[in-house]
Structure 1
Amino acid sequence: MKKIIASIFALSVAVPMISQAQKGTKKAYSFSNLPVVAQTSFKKDTFNIINYGAKSDGVTLITKSINDAIVACNKKGGGVVVVPKGLWISGPVELKSNVNLHLQANAILQFTRDFSQYPLVQSNWEGLPQMRNQSPLWAVNQTNIAVTGSGIVDGGGDAWRMVKKSKLTESQWKNLVASGGVLTEDKKTWYPSQGSLEGSKIKGNPGEISADKSADYYNNIKDFFRPNLLVFTSCKKVLLEGVTFQNSAAWNIHPLMCEDVIIRNVYAKNPWYAQNGDGLDIESCKNVLVENSTFDVGDDGICIKSGRDAWGRKRAMPTENVIIRNSTVYHAHGGFVIGSEMSGGAKNIFVSDCTFIGTDIGLRFKTTRGRGGVVENIHIKNINMMEVPGEAILFDMYYAAVDPIALVGDKRDAPKVELLPVNEETPIFKDFFIDNVVCDGAEKAIFVRGLPEMSIANINLSNINIKSKKGIDIQEGKNINLNNVKLTIEHGDPLINIQNGNNVSLKNITYNSADLLFKISGDRNSNIKTSGLDVSKAQKQAEFLAGAQEKSLQINK
């Protein structure tokens, strides 16, 4: 364990930090001038894992064989390591420079459910350095690497994950409990082992590395440290193409501090109840292309991150220059997401021509006090959504680390609103441009909730057509511009709620009907203007509460 911890800190020192002087001048990007992502290139030489002793019998571990093939390929200048059709059982696989790990059709690379095959190593969880079990597919400081083909990579995540009773049917729950494992005292959550349960009981950060924690401490709760399926750290020129990545213990695909990453035609799949079962988490990466891919997972679908709280700010590596296009997200907590661990910032993000079907929230931007970081220059267009249980478009600075849709029995209290000083822990969301969004079915059309000390700013929504139960809700927002927004709602009381909104422009807003058109509250509203608004469909135009003044709202028909 001492050697492991020593190597941990050696690795963390090796991570390059970006000073203000190194950041240089900003480069302007747009949809007509997208960032350029460098591509991989491999020699044609092939290294078949069968030639290194691998057996496709569904029993024999091929960990040594597949890693030996990768090492041999790397030493000879690179090429393609071939995983033929068949069922291959393996422990962790380390990818090395100039190696393309290629899974042929009908190949299943099944990572073993034997936890002893995964050593405890320094890794990362939600942006914080942690002790965790080694990820099944991993690489550190490698260049020109790929996982390609049309096979399946299965992380064996069902052996690792806890499961909430409220997320299963009665029959599913009975079968799960009968399979083994242990239950919490309230019998509402299943854990695969006692060690996993004990780890969940530790308050604070059980995986944090500190001098007062012994090897026995980590080993006693080893099962609790679920690994992400694929983690590539500080790598350059990465390609993931054609492969299905499924059944991850925690996050599915996780490029971390990488540069020039292409993710194309992949399928990320997890059970909908998979705790922390994100599809794709792009963290502190630069120059990324995601296209023609499908996500059907248990947590966020496509997510942008950059580290958590002080660690993320110290790393100071924003996720930047990202293109996401022509992709589909089915079940997920959010279709396209930024946050909540975005303390290093995010900028120059371009999302286009994507479909979200049944995601809890469509476009989801979340953060909270303590994160810090700046999220800016976000461009999104041509998004289609269906059957969204929550908000179609959400900006929220009160993220509370709970499922976006409350389960039966969950009690949700509204956050306490208080004005606090602005400091490095205050997050900033600004400069969002969202155009041409259609949503058939949502709980609420648009929700914007900033902090009293830091409004969400410069949000531009145009050509929006949403069918939902509720309309527009803006709290602590400034420079909010909505143009050509069509709302078909079930409950029109109010159609538009604004609390402490400043410089809110509402142009050409159309709707089917409303009991109350505007509800304005708070003593810090100013310059709320409408034009092209038909007030005749509403029974009442406006209501002013909690210090709001009538002069803050100007309705121009």
Structure 2
Amino acid sequence: MNKLNFFRQSLFSALILVSASQAIAQVKPFSFDHLPEVKETKFKKDTIRITSFGAINDGVTLNTKSINDAIAACNKKGGGVVVIPAGLWLTGPVVLLSNVNLHLQKNAILQFTKDFSQYQLVKGDWEGIPQMRNQSPVSADHAENIAITGFGIIDGNGDAWRMVKKDKLTESQWNKLVASGGTVIAEKKMWYPSEQSAKGSLLKNAGAIAPEKTPEFYASVKDFLRPNLVVLNSCKRVLLEGVTFQNSPAWNLHPLICEDLIVRNVYAKNPWYAANGDGIDIESCKNVLVEGSTFDVGDDGICIKSGRDAEGRKRGLPTKNVIIRNSTVYHAHGGVVIGSEMSGGANNIFIYDCSFIGTDIGLRFKTTRGRGGVVEAIYAKDIVMKDIVGEAILFDMYYAAVDPIALKGEKRDAPRVVKYPVTEETPIFRDFHISNVVCDGAGKAIFIRGLPELNISDIYLDNMTIQAKSGIEIQEAKNVQQNNVKVILSSDKK
């Protein structure tokens, strides 16, 4: 960048900050010296193989009973390791029990059936609200000291469950999909795998639990109520290590109200067009470590949540004491994300030594009116980004439940700015510390958009070099401090 253009860009950024009542000052120091402690799992060495309970490796035999019987036997004898040997093992839902480590050996594939009758309708949680869902392929409820480890693959057969947007496929891919069966709703430009699935999509909150809804009603839209691949509810001391989790019907990994969770060296993988195909959604959990892991998915990569709207505030359990480090996110709507269902709050989140490559947005913090909740004490440093489609760093309190990048031909209008009274439904974003960021290519460097009635506040940005098509935009924010923040516009690159 020549000196004149550098001056113009520096002045442009400064003018934006001043017009939004910002300050450019020395960044408030913070430290990663005292990170949260996360308790480890520990298992007996006793080993049980699923073949001892009749499991057959032929890709045809349904091994649901054999696998669950092995887990139950291991639990009954005080715990240990349940081994899934190399091979293709077809199964229905698997339920983990306390003190059991489900271990997949190298070249083991745990393949979940596309026979939906194997998945019972159960009370669950969807996007922060209690709902009826199909039983998750892998689940645990109020278990302690559990693990899924090894070198194999857990495949959720998600293509059998998911709807697909026409605009996300090429013409030939779309024609092939339609020819395979299912139902198309033309006005929505959407393909559904069954008529039941399409019917459910036309109803508002089809899975919501309500006294007037009968078992017959839920059965009539069962195909639409897609499960998350792995749901761990109210569990303590959990380890997910080494395994590939892929092709999920909805979210990939969903720890809910868990304590002492370690996610290490896992690979979460979904097609880029996978609707709701998040990598991991850490919801209302405390004491969490995510490290050495890779995410390449259809929605948000690593996401922090804590319930939605009134239900989330009623639960009142923030996600807190979280470490995310040494991990990589490829395709995803966001690399590390907080929200939008964050009504219980989030705090004490530490993100460092992470890379985002080809991600829609790098660091993404999103919410909207109605959520309530407080997000604060968020720390991120030593972040590397490359080829970010949208914003390298984004704060947005007008989240509208749409993909972050508009599809070709899609028109979006900016939200109308209206000041509302501050209530318990007003979300609060404050106290963010982001430093040592290098980004080689982004649509926009930094975007901050708060609410007029309650601004985003106390954002500290330090030591950044961001190459982007456009610079910094700030609306309805206060006390945004910058130190050594450099934005190099694409037009200025030699």
TM-score by length of structure 2 reads 0.93
Q: In the TM superposition, what whole-angstrom CA distance separates every residue of 1:346-403 from its partner, at most 9, and x where no partner exists?
A: 0000000000001000000000000000000000000000001100000000000000
In structure 1, distance between residues paired with 2:136 and 2:411: 35
Q: Which residue is equivalent to 2:87?
A: 86
What is the deviation of 1:175?
1.1
Q: Which residue is equivalent to 2:325?
A: 325
Q: In the TM superposition, what whole-angstrom CA distance separates every residue of 1:97-145 from its partner, at most 9, and x where no partner exists?
A: 0000000000000000000000000010011000000000000000000
Contact 1:487 1:512 in 2 (8 A): no
Runs of 4+ in 1 over 2 A off after TM superposition: none
Residues 512 and 65 from structure 1, CA distance in 2 versus in 1: closer, same or farther, beyond 3 angstroms? closer
Q: Which residue is equivalent to 1:117?
A: 118
Q: In the TM superposition, what whole-angstrom CA distance separates every residue of 1:51-76 from its partner, at most 9, and x where no partner exists?
A: 00100000000000000000000000
Q: Which residue is equivalent to 2:336?
A: 336
- Alpha-carbon RMSD: 1.1
Give secondary structure in 1 for the equivalent of 2:465: strand
Give secondary structure in 2 for the equivalent of 1:186: helix
Give secondary structure in 1 for the equivalent of 2:362: strand
What is the deviation of 1:512?
7.7
What is the deviation of 1:490?
3.4
Q: Which residue is equivalent to 2:440?
A: 440
Contact 1:330 1:356 in 2 (8 A): yes
Moved more, 351-360 or 165-174: 165-174
Unmatched 5+ stretches in structure 2: 1-29
Give secondary structure in 1 for the equivalent of 2:317: coil
What is the deviation of 1:38?
0.3
1:42 and 2:43 equivalent? yes
Give secondary structure in 1 for the equivalent of 2:446: strand
| Superposed counterparts of 1:265-344, under 5 Å | 265-344=265-344
Code of the residue aligned with 1:127 in structure 2: it is: G
1:212 and 2:230 equivalent? no
In structure 1, distance between residues paired with 2:327 and 2:493: 31
In structure 2, distance between residues paired with 1:349 and 1:327: 15
Q: Which residue is equivalent to 1:185?
A: 186
Code of the residue aligned with 1:32 in structure 2: it is: D
Q: Which residue is equivalent to 1:195?
A: 196
Q: Which residue is equivalent to 2:228?
A: 228
1:264 and 2:255 equivalent? no
Give secondary structure in 1 for the equivalent of 2:103: strand
What is the deviation of 1:409?
2.3
Q: In the TM superposition, what whole-angstrom CA distance separates every residue of 1:258-306 from its partner, at most 9, and x where no partner exists?
A: 0000000000000000000000100000000000000000000000000
In structure 1, distance between residues paired with 2:482 and 2:156: 43
In structure 2, distance between residues paired with 1:190 and 1:208: 23
What is the deviation of 1:170?
1.3
Code of the residue aligned with 1:99 in structure 2: it is: V
In structure 2, distance between residues paired with 1:434 and 1:238: 29
Code of the residue aligned with 1:419 in structure 2: it is: K
Residues 246 and 288 from structure 1, CA distance in 2 versus in 1: closer, same or farther, beyond 3 angstroms? same
What is the deviation of 1:30?
4.2
Q: In the TM superposition, what whole-angstrom CA distance separates every residue of 1:408-427 from its partner, at most 9, and x where no partner exists?
A: 12121110110000000000
TM-score by length of structure 1 reads 0.83
In structure 1, distance between residues paired with 2:373 and 2:31: 22
1:128 and 2:129 equivalent? yes
In structure 1, distance between residues paired with 2:186 and 2:305: 34
What is the deviation of 1:187?
7.0
Count of matched residue pairs? 465
In structure 1, distance between residues paired with 2:33 and 2:456: 26
Unmatched 5+ stretches in structure 1: 1-28, 492-510, 514-557
In structure 1, distance between residues paired with 2:428 and 2:209: 29
